[in-house]
Structure 1
Amino acid sequence: MVDKKYCMSSYMAFRYIEDDNKEFYDGFKHRNIVPLADGQRILVRTVEDIDREIGKQMEQFKDKKKGILLSGGMDSAIVASYLGGSDAYTFRFLGGKFQKEELARAEYYAKYCGLNLHYVDITWDTVISHLDACLKAKCAPVHSIEPQILQAALQAKSDGIEMMFVGESSDLIFGGMDGLLAKDWTFDEFVNRYIFTKPEEVLVEPESMQYLFERYRKGNDIDFLTFMDDVFSIESSSSYLNAFGVAEMPYYDPYAKLKMADELDLYRVRHGEPKYLIRELMTKKYPEIPVPNKVPMPRPVDEYFKTWKGPTRPEFRNDIDMSKYTGNQKWQMYCLEKFLDMNE
């Protein structure tokens, strides 16, 4: 069913098209990832369980030429520890001037694990050169990380890599979204906190996305943990599915098959220990260095859009105060406008 107004609002609010039955245009079918069912996942209770089960998963790829998207964070660093002798691909922006500490940690992990490190240099021109392919494959606007993941995947493919590894799912599974887990939200608080860009602030004909939150309402409160499992997991993982799919590069996330056997200890998460099991495993794998704080996949969107004046298509309001919005929110407006331009 074609419902352009709905799709625009869903993308602005959630960064993906939530309703699988609605599309921007006739003949388009957007692609969202389908998370593994609980029955297909492996229950883990301890650091030793996680270590063992990731190691067992890696065995099936022992005869393949392997690569990894290696950042300066814990999740990819842990996966890297099982891949000695493989190739690592690390994003480098603005000639290495952006997030220098993150880059230095990735370099350390690669050396520590005996990986062949390759830099994936990203500029705005790189992003633009891959954007159309990502848009066409997804049949929808995309996340700001997708063009750069595509660049890394193509680079790895040209190096003969047969399987790429990522550590994308760890945050959601092990309690890494500490901002969203910071308190027991009321319903209205969580709606305001979660929406990425409010459709009514930027679109001429917005549609309410309240229905999705209502599924998780509990009186005046909300089951935010289940919401995140159901909604955020699709939004975040679909970006990897699309970018690697465009490159025709197989990829694997060993965290995606795991599930905590015990209930998440929100007290620990809220008192300085997000992803406490992963932090312990990181200390086991890299005892010489402090456990790093979480940093999202780097992309200098604030730099990219610091002088951008905003969208001009008639679907957007003409009174948007662009100074209110982050680089990621500006990317959403820019990307939606480019997608609409490309198809009309």
Structure 2
Amino acid sequence: MNEQLPVDIERLEQFEAGLNLAHLERSAIPPQVLGYGEISAVLAIGDDGLAYKRMPMFLSEAEIEGYRRAFARYIEALTEAGLTVAPSRLVQLKQRCGAHHVLYLVQRRLPGDAIGNRRVQTADADGAGRLLESALREIAKVARYNQCQAGAWALGIDGQISNWAIMGEAMDAPSALCYFDITTPLVRRAGVEQLNAELFLRSAPSFLRWALRRFFLQDVLDRYYDLRRIVIDLIANLHKEGRPDLIPSWIERANRFFAEQPFPIEPLQRREIDAYYREDAFIWRFYLAARRIDRKLHRWRGRTYPYLLPGKIRR
């Protein structure tokens, strides 16, 4: 984690004070949306070359401190595992958004064509296949780390191709990748999650939280520690990126790759890839629709809704 990123905190405070959460273009300092996650948004604010991921789900200083500890340990462990992690800085603002403290994750802004999913969208089969194998090599580093640390530490990772940046490549060689989606620090010590997972239920509508906590939360967390499910999720998202034509070759490459590893996985099948994506896409469409209803309920009650919601997402 690089604490030396040159963040103009006073200007960031001004941006937050003038932020129109419902209509970004009407903000005092209109941002450019670089991307939406399922919970937060990544913004460009002016021409400082930085990307700002807005996280307003904290209700106390103690929660922020706990998150900082998990975040720092996650980056440390990823680095120990051999991954290159994007230099990052956490910035807490003095002002609040309603009852919520606001934290920003700040990173260098990446060129659009360096982000994995942008490259996949236009790549030929060979180029896309080399990118997959580069991602699998990085994911395998996490699996090896977990194997070595068994009983002590465990790392989870969201291996979707959209979470990797291409740092350098040769025509016929694997790409060097940098992992930059580190907002959810998935690290366990002696089987205990170091992240307070309740933080990520805050963005869920109150009328759904109990069900998500009881039926989905643990399963969603567990999937990022399960090597096979990480790879299924990675390949299934080719549907979202508009490249289902690559799925057969990616399944073949992934099965061949893991057959040569000391931790082989059961061979992947096309039907489970498609079934996984149908279920996942339905869940996230439903979740986003529920959040939009929750935003309306907040407005009717005269309460501040602290999150930025995306428009229609193609799935």
TM-score relative to the length of structure 1: 0.27
Higher RCO by CA contacts (8 Å cutoff, separation 6 or greater): 1
Structure ranking higher in strand proportion: 2
TM-score of the pair, normalised by structure 2: 0.29
